[in-house]
Chains A and B, each alone.
Chain A
Amino acid sequence: MTTLTVEGLSVHYGGVRAAHDVSFTVEPGQSLGIIGANGAGKTSTLKAVMGLAPRRATTIRFGEHDLLRAPAHTLVRHGIGYVPEGRHVFPGLSVEKNLLLGAYTSSWKHTPIEEVYELFPVLREMRHRLAGALSGGQQQMLAVGRALMCRPQVMLLDEPSMGLSPILVAEIAGVLKRLNADGLAILLVEQNAKLTFDVTTTCLVMENGQIAATGVSADLRNDPEVRRIYLGL
């Protein structure tokens, strides 16, 4: 089992500082949440871990793999699944193609596609449809399913609740809890604090690109500091 370690991570876009000195670890099987208002630097942090944003850090490791030196397209081979913000499915390809591309680095003869269909039966029904024609919720399931296709050890999710109705949010939460119970480590970045508290055991709160608070998810639920950050009171 492998631990994801991030130390002293900073992200700069041009002159803009999006995240500064962020550190955390995700232990095997753990579920860690990062919450914060819009623009707090959550998405940048996740993208930087994936090597998709300009970054500086003392350490980004996954087990023995040094991710700071690894090109972005090799991360998936180490067992890191990524669900980008706004889903980013491949709209002009069929659902099945989308899923298969999730297993791009391995043979297409032995993929966990059946397990994904089991988890999201609706994807099986829609497997010949173009991904762009799916509803927002279905696309989100597809994005999660695609990330599962590489048989990841840890899954990084960016705002999976964005644009979904409460029922769908609850459904996604259920799926994430199940995956976590089966041993998949989860790093969940969310604006939706309620969902994050539901799914994760530990939580970081980001504000202005920095970690403003850390705590047990269940305790943060009624924390006045969290309320202040969100509502400015």
Chain B
Amino acid sequence: MQVFLQTLIGGVTFGAVYALVAMGFSIVYRTMGLVNFAHGSVVMIGAYAASTFYLATQLPFAVAIIVAITVTGLIGLIIERFLRPLENKDFTLMLIGTIGFGAVLEAGAVLIWGATGHAVPSPVATGPIDLAGIRIPTYNLVVIAVAAAATGLLALFLQRTKRGAAMQAVAMDHQAATAVGIHVGRSNAMAFAIGAGLAALAGSLIGPMLYVNPTMGGTLGIKGFAAAMLGGFGSMPGAIVGGLAFGLLDAFAAGNFQEYSELVTFLVFAVIVMIRPTGIFGEATVNRA
């Protein structure tokens, strides 16, 4: 039981991060029909930006996160501008183009930060909380809380603001959105920037739990992508549920199959999506391929 709960906490923590990555995928996908395979690399850049700033300036980690979000948000805008010709076009090309962009970001990280990577000390000094024999690292709670807060803010933005509503309208019907006066290109760019910002947040948060290195984006991106798919591509609640589900799957696979966890995780994932290709909540936009 104790092991079970311990694994649960770990799974939820990583799940919260996967959910952030998956939400980033989804918000871009639903507004512009772009599957962004470079998203994982943006997460990696975010992790580097936050940790480098944190280690160099010794300013609070929260400031580092904000810096990272700004940096990747800008990178997001650049990528969007570059890939705009591919939006709503041939899925295969788009996919390969974004993979290419991912490689560029990864190579850039190697050139800037070197190939070896660095460890990030936990920004929370307090020791783990002991709860009925389960040791919960305080930083895990911080990660879960921050991820939840970010999700709440995003929901608030989409539900309560005019720009958020406009972004959703573009996702549902871009012609009708144009007809009511929404500038679709601007809305898309903003969606991309938000997606990149979410990636940076995820990267910043996961940095202290993992070793920050240039190839971390690949695995995180694939896992976030898988989480988005599990929940239902393009659906925001799906991204959250899918992220948590994937985090738990990952944690329990690691607990029970040790070094073979990745093998088990991806086999189980393949079987699940075979049974239900559109995920738990179904695909949120019409397949435009």
In the complex, what distance in Å separates the CA atom of A52 from the CA atom of B180?
12
Q: Is the CB of A90 within 8 A of B181?
A: no
Chain-A contact segment, one of B70-78, B160-168, B223-231: B160-168
Is B253 an interface residue, CB under 8 A from the partner? no
Q: Are B165 and A101 in contact (CB under 8 A)?
A: yes
The residue from B169, B179, B183, B184 contacting A93, defined by CB atoms under 8 A apart: B169
Q: By the criterion CB–CB under 8 Å, are A74 and B181 in contact? A: yes
Residues of A within 8 A of B175 (CB): 52, 84, 88
Residues of A within 8 A of B258 (CB): none
Residue of A nearest to B169 (CB): A90
**Looking across the interface, which residue of chain A has its beta carbon closest to that of B170?**
A90
Q: How far is the CA of A125 from the CA of B40 in the complex (A)?
A: 45
Q: Which of B141-161 contact A (CB under 8 A)?
A: none
User: Is B176's CB under 8 angstroms from A150's CB?
Assistant: no
**Are A150 and B181 within 8 A (Cβ)?**
yes
**Cβ A104 vs Cβ B172 within 8 A:** no
Decide if the interface of chain B is mainly helix, strand, loop or mixed. helix
> In the complex, how many angstroms separate the beta carbon of A148 from the nearest chain B beta carbon?
11
With an 8 Å Cβ cutoff, the count of chain B residues facing the other chain is 18
User: Residue B178 at the A interface, CB < 8 A?
Assistant: yes
Distance A73 CA – B170 CA, assembled complex (angstroms): 12
Nearest Cβ in chain A — how far from B236, in angstroms? 11
Q: Closest CB-CB distance, A142 to chain B, in whole Å?
A: 11
Name, among B166, B173, B179, B183, the residue most crowded by chain A CB atoms within 10 Å (CB to CB): B179
Q: Which A residues touch B110, using CB under 8 A?
A: none
Given the complex of chains A and B, what is the CA–CA distance between A108 and B168 in angstroms?
A: 17
What CA separation (Å) do A102 and B165 show in the bound complex? 11
Least CB distance from B241 to A in Å reads 17
B9–chain A nearest beta-carbon distance, Å: 34
Known contacts A93-B165, A93-B168, A104-B162; A88 and B176 CB within 8 A of each other: yes
Q: Encode contact with B along A23-63: 1 for CB under 8 Å, 0 otherwise.
A: 00000000000000000000000000010100000000000
Question: Does B67 sit at the interface, judged by CB under 8 A?
Answer: no
**Chain A contacts of B165 at CB under 8 A?**
93, 97, 100-101
Q: Which residues of the other chain, B, contact A197 by a CB distance below 8 angstroms?
A: none
Q: Which residue of A lies closest to B179 (CB)?
A: A82
* Chain A neighbourhood of B222, CB < 8 A: none
Closest to A131 in B: B172
Partner of B181 from A52, A76, A91 at Cβ < 8 Å? A76
| Number of residues from A at the complex interface, CB < 8 A | 26
CB <8 Å contact, A104 and B178: no
Rounded to whole angstroms, the CA-CA distance of A72 and B173 in the bound complex is 14
Could you tell me if B176 and A104 are in contact, using CB atoms closer than 8 angstroms? no
- Residues from chain A with a CB closer than 8 A to the CB of B166 are 101, 104
Quick one: which of B162, B168, B178, B284 contacts A73, CB cutoff 8 A?
B178
Complex CA gap A100/B164 in Å reads 12
Flag if A105 contacts B168 (CB, 8 Å): no
Min distance, Cβ B67 to any Cβ of chain A, angstroms: 33
Scoring A residues 85 to 110 as 1 if CB is less than 8 Å from chain B, else 0, what string do you get? 00011111100010011101100100
How far does the alpha carbon of A75 sit from the alpha carbon of B179 in the complex, in Å? 7
Evaluate contact between B183 and A84: CB separation under 8 angstroms.
no
Q: Write out the residue numbers on chain A whose beta carbons fall within 8 Å of the beta carbon of B183.
A: 71, 73
State whether B182 touches A52 (Cβ < 8 A). no
Within 8 A of A (CB), among B239-261: none
B178 touches A101 (CB 8 A): no
Q: Which of A76, A77, A89, A90 is the most central at the interface, judged by chain B CB atoms within 10 Å of its CB? A: A90
Are B180 and A101 touching (Cβ within 8 A)?
yes
A77–B173 contact, CB under 8 A?
A: no
A20 within 8 A of B: no
Interfacial chain A residues near B178, Cβ < 8 Å: 52, 72-73
CB closest chain-B residue, reference A88 = B176
Q: Is the CB of B179 within 8 A of A76?
A: yes
Q: In whole angstroms, how far apart are the Cα atoms of A52 and B173 in the complex?
A: 13
Contacts A52-B179, A74-B181, A76-B180 given; does A91 touch B169 at CB 8 Å = no
Cβ of A108: which chain B residues have Cβ within 8 Å of it? 162
| Pairs A–B under 8 Å by Cβ, sample size 17 | A52-B175, A71-B183, A73-B179, A73-B183, A74-B181, A75-B179, A76-B181, A77-B181, A84-B176, A88-B175, A88-B176, A90-B169, A92-B284, A93-B165, A93-B168, A102-B180, A104-B162
The 5 A-B pairs of least Cβ separation, nearest first, read: A76-B181, A88-B176, A105-B181, A82-B179, A90-B172
Q: A-contacting residues of B (Cβ < 8 Å)?
A: 162, 165-166, 168-169, 172-173, 175-184, 284
Known contacts A72-B178, A92-B172, A108-B162; 15 further A-B pairs (Cβ under 8 A): A52-B175, A52-B179, A71-B183, A73-B178, A74-B181, A76-B180, A84-B175, A84-B179, A91-B172, A100-B165, A101-B165, A101-B177, A105-B181, A146-B180, A150-B180
